[in-house]
Structure 1
Amino acid sequence: MSKKFLIGTGFGYSKVNFWAFIATGVIFLLNGFLLMYNNILSPIGLIIGVFTFIGGIFYFLYSYILFSNRSKWAPRITIDDNYLELKSKILQSATRVLWSQISSIAFSPYKIAFDLGDTVKSFEYETTSELSIEIKETIREMANTKGIDVIGG
């Protein structure tokens, strides 16, 4: 079993965010193209068109980077049979913790602490309360199948 949770950037992840940024990108791209093509208010229209077109590309990339399941940069929590992969920020690398290394898990509000025997690895994240509950329930189910103690939640 492998399950991926996109946690967004603190304002809560939803499919609406993905499609809203895609739609905004399309509108900016079309508006920028029309301003450049029609050359209204020459040369200011051309300059505004170029910046609007670049803004559309930015919105497209932003929606893919933050809200796509295929993005390697999206903040996420991946729960697999062999490991947990945790990533809370775009420019931060993902942390992978093997289930075999974990002796216990402690849940706090928007925080998960893994006792790895000699060290404790903590992971803080920001998302909606509903998604946080779903993440913790899934981790608890997997931990119970592996015989790992779970504290809190």
Structure 2
Amino acid sequence: ALPVIREGSEVAFTESENNNFNIILERISQYKKNGYESIAIICKNIKELTEIYNFMKNIGMDINCIKHPEDKYESGLCIITSYLAKGLEFDAVIINDASENTYSSTSSTDMKLLYVAMTRALHEMEIIYTDKITMPLEKCLKVTKQKIKVLR
């Protein structure tokens, strides 16, 4: 078997003050403009998923919600938990809240869920976090911030 290599922009990191709704909407719009058809918002848990899904539905967004293993993903925009995303691939992925308090670096289960979430994107990935990003991603974030400083 040949490995699938993600092609596209470098992973983007965005720190959020509290709710991530506006950031998510901006990224969805950007991804659609770039021609991506399969876009996933990946959440760690059902509570987080439900909050974002309800917001999206209330503003009239056409979004597929995958809460249960028997739910099917057809195409387009979807919101899904990281444990149900295993085996699926999307053109673009938005990982909601990759903070240390959500994906604890001391929990092997959390790290496996984060790994699953991070390996779903074929072309672009946005990682949103509040407060402190989960420790395994901290080094990646520092490298990204250094590149931004060099480019300015």
TM-score, normalised by the number of residues in structure 2 = 0.28
TM-score, normalised by the number of residues in structure 1 = 0.28
Mark the structure with the bigger radius of gyration. Answer: 1
More helix by share: 1
